[in-house]
Homo-oligomer: A and B are copies of this chain.
Amino acid sequence: MARNKDMDMAGSSFGRLFRVTTFGESHGRGIGTVIDGCPTKIKLGAEDFAPEMSRRRSSDHRAHTTPRRERDQVEILSGVFEGMTTGAPITLFITNHDVDSRPYEILGNLFRPGHGDYTYFKKYGHFDFRGGGRYSARETAARVAAGVVAYKVIEPLDIKVVAYTIELGGVKAENLELEAIQKNPVGCPDPLASKRMLEILSEAAKEGDSIGGVAEVKISSCPPGLGEPVFDKLDADLAKALFSIGTVKGVEIGAGFEAARLRGSQNNDPLTPKGFKTNHAGGILGGISNGDDIVIRVAMKPIPSIRIEQETIDRQGNPSKIKLTGRHDVCALPRVLPVLEAMVKIVLADHHLRNRAI
């Protein structure tokens, strides 16, 4: 198996004026982010991060999430003076505490199907068998922390960003009662569907399997004008931001794939003095926000880590079997929702600053 010996990465930054760089590995010292370009005079303290971090963290309140328990306390290493941002780069760090690499060690030589083990090995000549290292979902903790700062940048615009589960294990939400999202452990706005989703989760957990789902992200009160054509369109940057999350396999905006089945006369959103009559566009026209709700749906594959035996090969290319025993979620969605929101907030903060550059 030929391999490149010394490839670089250099893809760890996102955004142009509000620039987020994440660093850190699943089983290393910790996870962190440097945010360059955050405006000054924004109130920021370590306590601001707790609510979002807790949403992303696995816990008893979350359904069938990994038993790994991280306190995920965010330390501010730079960029804040007397409780306010200074304009200097903000560094946030989250120490890894509950690191147990033992379950992974016996796998050190095998590529886990559905994971980045194989491709990282082909690209970088090695892979971090300890829970995925850099490509572990743990990296998203840094994104959630950055999202908290991003939201502070756009908060004065009154933008709201909320992500929720609309499909899980094949069960679709029908009634969207947004206030129900926080009430059930799958983050679904349909209480009835949530129950069925939980049953499916339990079932899959029992079988050692995992399940996928679809989330929706709604951005309300977004001002018109965000987006920088022809390449840095708002929808293009949102799609990139969401596809940069490990489990995402599809993104659609507004009517999405359904728009492909409509006629122009049905899909066009008529303009009236009171606003758009419909919202098939999903709040974005010509790559620029139009002031209407931005509605994005995100398909997430089932988590690749399962306790069922699978075929694989080792680093030398020999066939083998693998059966994972580590601590794993059954479904990514409940914990990914705050990550989706964070990435969306980062895109909005960046485009808000770019839009204000003149």
Contact = CB atoms under 8 A, between A and B. Distances in A.
A106 to B, nearest CB: 17
B231 A12 contact: yes
Contacts of A236: 239-241, 243-244
B114 A268 contact: yes
A349 B25 CA distance: 24
Interface string A61-87: 000000000000001111101001011
Contacts of A310: 265, 268, 270
A336 to B, nearest CB: 12
Interface string A223-265: 0110111111101111111111010111111111101111111
B270 A311 contact: yes
Contacts of A78: 23-25, 28-32
Given A81-B25, A249-B253, A17 B11 contact: no
A6 interface: yes
A290 B78 CA distance: 25
Given A88-B25, A253-B249, A260-B214, A6 B134 contact: no
A135 interface: yes
B32 A312 contact: no
A269 interface: yes
A162 interface: no
Contacts of A253: 243, 249-250
A160 interface: no
Q: Which 3 residue pairs are nearest across A and B when measured between Cβ atoms?
A: A116-B286, A11-B228, A10-B37
